[in-house]
Amino acid sequence: MGFGFLALPDAAGYVLEDATVPASLVAGHVPTQPRDGLVRADIIVRDGRVAAVGAPGAPRPEGLAAVPLDGSMVFPCFVDAHTHLDKGHIWPRASNPDGTFPGALAAVGADRERNWSADDVRARMTFALKAAHAYGTAAIRTHLDSIPAQIDISWPLFAEIREEWRGRIDLQASSLCGIDIAVEPGYLDRMAAVAKAAGGGLGCVTYMSPNLPGGLDAIFRTAIDAGLPLDFHVDETLDPTADSLRQIAEAAIRHRWSATGNGTIVVGHCCSLSMQADDVVQTTLDRIAEAGLAVVSLPMCNMYLQDRQAGRTPRRRGVTLLHEMKARGIAVMVASDNTRDPFYAYGDLDMLETYREATRILHFDHPVGDWPRAATATPAEACGFAGRGVIGAGLAADLVVFRGRSWTELLARPQSDRTVIRGGRAIDTTLPDYRDLDRLWS
């Protein structure tokens, strides 16, 4: 058992005194003047909820225990908008032979056919969720490989696991298959029924297939008829001719998606945009903004897969154009993506790691501004996790307290001694032991 560096009182009410909080993550009035996106605040916690976020030393109700933070940073619990809980942690039996995208596709496909029983997927999903919970994530959207033979295994299992984890991690799922499978007769109707029954959404991988235009229309029609949200894997390549991102935005406009009430369309990766000519980029960004798409970058997975050639140093890193998007008012996010599977050999669903790597890879600094929203408030809004990703009066006291007091202290170290508060109480932050999974391949 371990509860991090901070000792919390055994009391229904207490004050986290002199916390350092990202100003962009305070819901409502920001109590002091931000410096580099940060403010000092006292956070009053009562009966599992945040009662107030006020200036340090502001008048407070009597009888509350004091917890001096001396500047320690406090985040709301993280929201991870793009993961693959069903693929996670298969690396010991299904590594990527050469670290490439085709190598990943082949290795995962073979492992799925051979090994993805309900028991196998459950063990790995549970392991991943334990880690995410211990790191301070409170909401996750996962994609589920939805090749026809896998649908009846993974989706009912997901619905069970979502119930088991209710109150610890809010879970959403989105279907995943290539656009060429999505257009097979009967597939979308079946998938929509399954996703609807499980409270999930529809998605697919889009790339330059002859089936793309017709497939997109079919997916949009199906999602609108069934009242389902959409989430796409888009142009995960450095080929500049890949422009399915623009085609998705145009389909959303053509189908009048914004009037459907089916939520925000999320598009992930969008790597080829980083390789396109400026006029092409500008047109696509115009369409994304008009369509109201939300974009999620998966920087760690991009760094691993993109521009990999044996014996040659990678030069083009594949992350999409988040700064340009954000400047236009497009919702932008970062998320974990794969964990210890052939698409990414590493990763553990620690959103602080994702944010730290995003800061380095995508330059979320100088100034930091409201970039912290990309791992918290924006994914909560885009995915529809109500009440998540911000700190404010009346919201659950679901907080992560770091020893670090500033951006440099926070991001220079992994913050392995963080304290995670859920419903006002510190939770056990012990990570699951990899040995727990050994039975799956011994």
Active site residues: 236
Q: What are phi and psi of 18, to 5 degrees?
A: 55, 55
Nearer to Zn ion, 88 or 372 (CB): 88
Binding residues for Zn ion restricted to 141-200, rule: CB under 5 A: none
Nearer to Zn ion, 170 or 337 (CB): 337
| CA–CA distance, 119 with 116 (Å, rounded to integer) | 8
Q: Which of 66, 68, 110 is nearest to 87 (CA)?
A: 110
DSSP 432: P
Helix (H, G, I), strand (E, B) or coil at 259: helix
| CA–CA distance, 199 with 354 (Å, rounded to integer) | 27
CB 300 within 8 A of CB 360: no
| CA–CA distance, 173 with 297 (Å, rounded to integer) | 18
**Smallest separation, CB 236 to Zn ion (Å):** 8
Nearer to Zn ion, 80 or 337 (CB): 337
**Smallest separation, CB 268 to Zn ion (Å):** 6
> At 139, which amino acid appears?
A
By residue count, the chain amounts to 442
Establish how many alpha carbons lie within 13 A of residue 430's alpha carbon, considering only the half-sphere containing its beta carbon.
6
Nearer to Zn ion, 6 or 81 (CB): 81
Q: Total residues contacting Zn ion (rule CB under 5 A)?
A: 1
**Smallest separation, CB 337 to Zn ion (Å):** 5
Q: For Zn ion, which residue has the nearest CB?
A: 337
Alpha helices in 292-365 (DSSP H): 299-305, 322-327, 351-362
**Smallest separation, CB 143 to Zn ion (Å):** 6
Nearer to Zn ion, 24 or 146 (CB): 146
**Smallest separation, CB 120 to Zn ion (Å):** 20
Nearer to Zn ion, 174 or 415 (CB): 174
Binding residues for Zn ion restricted to 352-381, rule: CB under 5 A: none
User: Any long-range contacts for 313-316 (C-beta under 8 Å, 24+ apart)?
Assistant: 316/238, 316/274, 316/275
**Smallest separation, CB 83 to Zn ion (Å):** 8
Q: Which of 52, 29, 31 is nearest to 40 (CA)?
A: 31
Those residues whose C-beta lies under 8 Å from the C-beta of residue 183, and which sit 6 or more positions away, are 211, 214, 215, 218
**Smallest separation, CB 336 to Zn ion (Å):** 9
Nearer to Zn ion, 322 or 390 (CB): 322
Those residues whose C-beta lies under 8 Å from the C-beta of residue 163, and which sit 6 or more positions away, are none
The binding track of 311-350 with respect to Zn ion, each residue x by CB under 5 A or -, is --------------------------x-------------
| CA–CA distance, 178 with 187 (Å, rounded to integer) | 12
Q: Which of 295, 339, 342, 300 is nearest to 318 (CA)?
A: 300
Binding residues vs Zn ion (CB under 5 A)? 337
